[in-house]
Amino acid sequence: MAGAAAAAQLWALLDEMAENDPRGYRRLLRQQRAEAERLRAPPEPRLCLRARPAGAGAGPLFINVCSWKRVPAPRAPAEPLPVRAGPLQEASGEGDVYSIIDIAYSPDVLQRAEENPEKMQHLIHLTLRFVEERCKLVLSYLYTVESFKLKGSLEKMQQRLTGQQMPTPRFSQSTRKELTLDQLLHTLEAEDCSNAPVLLKEESVTQSKVHLIEEITSPEMPEKPSAPVYEMITVKDANKNPLKIELRIELPKVSSVSECDLRISKDDVIIEVPEKYKLQLDLPELVDEETATAVFNKGKRVLLITVPVAKRSSKPAFSPGHGHS
C-alpha cells in the first residue's frame, strides 16, 4: 500500500507539472527516457585480448574488452578508472580448452584510448593487471590483440556482465501509461550503477552486496621494461655455411629462470621478465625452433640460447647459357 500511495502522489505531482509547466513536463520525460535508454543499453564488444597465464598446461585466457554506457567515465584524469568485470569462466572449442573473462569500460574511456596508441597500451596494461588481481592469476606481459572483437557469443557476454538476462518489458494498452513511467522510475532507481549495490555471483553470501563499479587504483603510467644487454653470434662451418645461432643475454635483476618468459619462432626470439626486461630480436637466419636449447647461469645471471639453423632444401643449380638446342 505504501508503494501505491507513493505512486499516486508521484502521478499527482506529474499531472500538476503537465498542467502548469507543459514544457518542463515534456523535458522531464525526454530526460527520463534518455537516461532509461542509457541504463538499459547492453555492453558492446570493442577489443579481444589473448593473454598467457603462467603455469604448465594452462590454456590461453581471452579478455573481452567491452564498451558499456552503464560504466561511468572517471571524473578527472587522475581519478581511479571505473570498470565492471564479469566472472572468469572456462570454455572449450575445437578441442582447445581456454578461459574467458569480460571487462567493461565507459565508451568515452575506450574512444580516447583508440585515438592514442600510448593510452591504449596503458589501458591494456591496466586491464591485465586488474585481471591478475581479481582472478589471482599471473599473466605474461606477452599478449595478442585478436582480429575479432569478441570471444564467444554476444548474448553470453552480456549475461555475464549484467549477471542476468535483460528481457524487454511488454505493456498492455490499458496500463501502458502507468507501467511505462513506473517501470522507468524503478529502472532509474534500481539500475543506477554508480550508487546501487548488486549481487555478483562470484562473491560469498555473507559479502554478496558490493558496488557495481570496481576501481583500478593506479593512475600512473607503468614503468616500461628495459632491453637487456645481449650478444648474438652466428656459428659457421668451414665452408662458411651457418650452423647455429648463439645468443647471450645478461639479466642481472633475475634470480630464477622461472621469472623468464621465452618464445622462439623460426625468425625471431622474444624474452620477457615482467616489469624488468623485454627483448625482441630478429634472427639473421631461419632456425629450427623445435631443437633450441636455453640455459640460465644463476651465478652470472646470464641466459644462453642456442638455436640450430634450419636446413635448406637443396635445389638443382640453373646454369644460364645452356639452353636446349
Is there a contact between 138 and 54 (Cβ–Cβ < 8 Å)?
Answer: yes
Q: What is the mean pLDDT of the chain?
A: 75
- Specify the pLDDT at position 3: 55
Share of the chain above pLDDT 90, in %: 27
**What is the domain partition of the chain in residue ranges?**
14-165+177-220, 230-308
- Pairing outcome for strands 96-105 and 61-67: parallel
Of the candidate ranges 206-210, 222-226, 232-236, 245-249, the one whose mean pLDDT is the lowest: 206-210
- Specify the pLDDT at position 35: 58
Q: Is 130 exposed, middle or buried (0-12, 13-18, 19+ CB in 10 A)?
A: buried
Q: What are the pLDDT digits (tens) for 86-110?
A: 999 988 776 678 899 999 999 999 9
The continuous run of DSSP H or E covering 272 comes out as strand 268-273
- The position carrying cell 523535458 is 27
DSSP state of 193: T
**CA separation (Å) from 162 to 16, 65, 117?**
37, 14, 29
The continuous run of DSSP H or E covering 262 comes out as strand 261-264
Find, among 274, 277, 265, 275, the residue nearest to 305 by Cα. 265
Range list of β-strands (E), 39-112: 44-53, 61-67, 81-85, 89-93, 96-105
- Answer whether 0.85 is exceeded by the pTM: no
Q: What is the distance between the alpha carbons of residues 230 and 106, in angstroms, rounded to a whole number?
A: 42
Q: Is the pLDDT reported for residue 67 higher than 70?
A: yes
- Specify the pLDDT at position 143: 83
Q: Is the pLDDT reported for residue 168 higher than 80?
A: no
- Specify the pLDDT at position 102: 95
Decide which of 2.60.40.790, 3.40.50.970, 1.10.40.30, 2.60.40.1930 is the CATH code for 230-308. Answer: 2.60.40.790
- Specify the pLDDT at position 296: 85
Of the candidate ranges 5-9, 115-119, 280-284, the one whose mean pLDDT is the lowest: 5-9
Q: Which of 11-15, 54-58, 67-71 has the highest mean pLDDT?
A: 67-71
CA 3 and chain centroid, separation: 43
Of the candidate ranges 74-83, 110-119, 316-325, the one whose mean pLDDT is the lowest: 316-325
Q: Tell me the three state secondary structure of residue 83.
A: strand
Q: Is the pLDDT reported for residue 162 higher than 90?
A: no
Q: What are the pLDDT digits (tens) for 238-261?
A: 999 999 999 999 999 888 877 888
- Specify the pLDDT at position 40: 67
String of DSSP letters for 94-156: TTEEEEEEEEEE-HHHHHHHHT-HHHHHHHHHHHHHHHHHHHT--EEEEEEE-SSS-SS-HHH
What average pLDDT does the segment 150-165 reach?
83
Is there a contact between 102 and 160 (Cβ–Cβ < 8 Å)?
Answer: yes
- Specify the pLDDT at position 313: 58
